[in-house]
Structure 1
Amino acid sequence: MEKLSTSLDTSVSPGTLYPELHELHEEGVLEQQELVRTKVYDIGDSQVAREQLVESAQAHFMIGQILRDALRQLDT
């Protein structure tokens, strides 16, 4: 979790991450391999994963634009 939090520059908790991984597995985006005490996830459907990443990136970009515009208005 610490390495992922550092990579994303945000706090990531098991309660946030694992439900998302499970949902992506149920949707067929990720493949799951159960080990002794852990599960390993790999991308199962790269096209669906790509589409979801693009959609997420576009949404985050739009939020960034809205916040930037709001900050500009506050500065004037």
Structure 2
Amino acid sequence: MYEESDNAQSVFNELTASATNDTDESNEVELLIGSTPKADDKTVERELDEMLDDVRAALPTDDVDFEEDIVKENLDEILLMLISLRGETHGKELISDLTRLFDAQLSPGTVYPSLHQLEEEDILKMHKKVRTKEYSIDGEREVRETVERTMVQHLAFGFLLYSFLPRL
């Protein structure tokens, strides 16, 4: 998995630029969180597939799989991302996305408590429909802060591990 590069800092810069779709660090990334009406499912699925392709292309390995434990540990952030991209969605669709994108077999007993907690924190709002509940983003600032904090933590941890590999 580890391949020598000029330096680990350049890999960190490449990952950061790839994650933000930005090759010029001076440009600010604009996130349109929760501002889109319910998106077309095929468009969202294509966008999610493209995002995963970008991740795989940016890493120095072809072996990029997300273990179910990682998905569970980051479930809130993943749910926020999926809901934001879809505009409004329900739990079954989210569980289907988790299975398709991350090959994670998460039960409703894992996903729905996270959705309820995010709703209690006023990050999500829930709309009762006839046979289901639809979730949408309510706290855009909180979503941005949560996603950015998690992203920086993961990038920093990955950078630490990457820096350590030459010492083995």
Please state which band the TM-score falls in when normalised by the shorter chain: 0.7 to 0.9
SS at match of 2:127: strand
Q: Are positions 1:39 and 2:133 aligned together? A: yes
Q: 1:49 to 1:35 in 2, by over 3 A?
A: same
> Structure 1 length normalisation: TM-score?
0.73
Q: Which structure is higher in RCO with an 8 Å CA cutoff and minimum separation 6?
A: 2
Distance 2:150 2:96 in 1: 23
Q: 1:17 to 1:69 in 2, by over 3 A?
A: farther
Query: Which residue of structure 2 lines up, in the alignment, with residue 69 of structure 1?
Result: 163
Structure 2: runs of 5+ lacking an equivalent = 1-94
Structure 1: runs of 5+ lacking an equivalent = none
> Structure 2 length normalisation: TM-score?
0.38
Q: 1:68 to 1:6 in 2, by over 3 A?
A: farther
* Structure 1 residue ranges (4+ consecutive) displaced by more than 4 angstroms after TM superposition: none
Percent of counterpart pairs with the same letter?
Answer: 34
Query: Which residue of structure 1 lines up, in the alignment, with residue 148 of structure 2?
Result: 54
> Which amino acid in the other structure matches residue 24 of structure 1?
L
**Whose helix proportion is higher, 1 or 2?**
1
Instruction: Report deviation, 1:37.
Output: 3.3
